[in-house]
């Protein structure tokens, strides 16, 4: 049975988790060794601490605005579409959460568009995460 759209905001469950980065409640939402795949990093980010570090860096002012426009739950998968602004430019994308049998998040996929925004977001995230995550998670452009 479809949920009444006025009952809750799209993406609010995910936003609530991200806002708790670094807190025990954040870790409690995840399975052991969750994996974050994203178009703005050149490899997966593995483990609750590493995922929290990356998400906290993006939530800390990288987006000027961000609004979820669609949400679909199909079994263990939650599909979120979003639009916003970052660095004064339009950005959009999708987030896919996969939960295990216990309902804990085991995989996160975050995809940004368009390509110029992917590259700018990646460069800024690399700068913000310097010394906090492996530099191998970012493509270097010499």
Q: Give the H or E element holding residue 48.
A: helix 48-59
Q: Considering the entire predicted model, what is its pTM?
A: 0.89
Q: Cβ neighbours of residue 6 under 8 Å, at least 6 residues apart?
A: none
What is the number of helices (H) and of strands (E) in the chain?
4, 6
**Mean pLDDT per 10-residue segment, the chain (142 residues):** 62 91 90 96 94 90 93 96 96 97 97 95 93 84 52
**What pLDDT is recorded for position 6?**
54
Domains parsed from the chain with CATH numbers = 10-133 (3.10.450.50)
Task: Return d(Cα 27, Cα 107) in angstroms, integer.
Answer: 13
Neighbours of 90 (CB within 10 A): 12
DSSP state of 7: G
Please give the pLDDT value at position 21: 84
């Amino acid at each position: 049975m479809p949920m009444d759209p006025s009952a809750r905001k799209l993406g609010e469950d995910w936003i609530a988790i991200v806002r708790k980065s670094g807190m025990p409640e954040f870790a409690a939402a995840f399975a052991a060794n969750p994996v974050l795949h994203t178009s703005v990093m050149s490899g997966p980010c593995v483990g609750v601490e590493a995922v929290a570090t990356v998400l906290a860096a993006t939530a800390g002012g990288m987006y000027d605005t961000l609004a979820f426009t669609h949400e679909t739950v199909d079994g263990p998968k939650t599909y979120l579409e979003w639009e916003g602004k970052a660095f004064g430019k339009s950005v959009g994308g999708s987030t896919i959460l996969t939960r295990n049998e216990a309902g804990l998040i085991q995989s996160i996929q975050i995809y940004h568009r368009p390509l110029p925004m992917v590259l700018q977001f990646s460069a800024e995230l690399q700068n913000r995460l310097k010394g906090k995550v492996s530099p191998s998670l970012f493509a270097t452009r010499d």
